[in-house]
Amino acid sequence: MKKKMDTSEAFLRCFHAFTSPMSLDVYLDDVLYIKDLLYEDFSYYEPLTRGEHQIYITVHEQTDILCTRSIWISNEKIYTLIITTDFKTSGPGLYLINDAKRPIPEGHCLLRLGTFCDLSDLVNVQFSEQTPTFKKISPHQSSHYLSFTPSTYSITALSHDQTHSFCELKNCSLKVARIYTLYLIGNTSETYPIHFLLSIDGSSF
């Protein structure tokens, strides 16, 4: 974010989680909104007016539309628009989630899980070999934010029946007074393996 958020406005950023070497341009109401967004990259949060907006994406500096959707924006909300695989088409799809705008418990941080990888199964995630912290999170969904003690964690993604792990993030440092989303992105290929990506969200950015 380029400047301190005025939380009376709405803000939107985009996250490129579609497993492809293509950089993408994002159009808002037929006007170029974000350009040359690469895989794993986030745009800055940008202010956005209340109401209905049309979003579509193209390959950078090309004109063919890859996907489109209508979104409704409310005042005083903070959003992330995620570009990832649409299971129905195998092409890119657009998924809108709300980022937190609420007090952080003193001495703690907030974190949620977002599963936007190319897996159609439910996912469990555990921190530092404890019982799963996040359970049965559906594809293309995010969990509720939970309060964490700032520390360094080892994080493991498990199958929904907890019979095997398929992704691990070691030495993940969470800091006080931050709001995070831990994204699970990628696919089963060697080029774009499934992995965790930690993002700072919303007004704690």
User: In this predicted structure, what is the pLDDT of residue 204?
Assistant: 64
pLDDT digit string, tens, across residues 158-205: 987 767 888 999 999 999 999 999 999 999 899 999 999 999 998 765
Closest by CA position to 142, among listed 189, 66, 84 = 84
Burial (CB count within 10 angstroms: exposed 0-12, middle 13-18, buried 19+), residue 155? buried
- Distance CA(129)–CA(121), nearest Å, equals 21
User: In this predicted structure, what is the pLDDT of residue 2?
Assistant: 46
pLDDT digit string, tens, across residues 116-142: 999 888 999 999 877 678 999 999 999
User: In this predicted structure, what is the pLDDT of residue 3?
Assistant: 46
User: In this predicted structure, what is the pLDDT of residue 164?
Assistant: 84
Model confidence, pTM: 0.92
User: In this predicted structure, what is the pLDDT of residue 4?
Assistant: 54
- Of residues 18 and 159, more confidence is placed in 18
User: In this predicted structure, what is the pLDDT of residue 6?
Assistant: 57
If you write DSSP's letter for every residue of the chain in order, what string do you get?
--S---TTSEEEEEEE-SSSS--EEEEETTEEEEEEEPTT-BPPPEEE-SEEEEEEEEETT---EEEEEEEEE-TT-EEEEEEEE-TTTSSEEEEEEEEP-SPPPTT-EEEEEEE-SS--S-EEEEETTSS-SEEEEPTTEE---EEE-S-EEEEEEEETTSS-EEEEEEEEE--TT-EEEEEEE-BSSSSSB-EEEEEE-GGG-
pLDDT digit string, tens, across residues 65-112: 999 999 999 998 999 999 999 999 999 999 999 998 889 999 999 999
User: In this predicted structure, what is the pLDDT of residue 193?
Assistant: 95
Contact (CB, 8 A) for 45 and 33: no
User: In this predicted structure, what is the pLDDT of residue 25?
Assistant: 98
User: In this predicted structure, what is the pLDDT of residue 8?
Assistant: 64
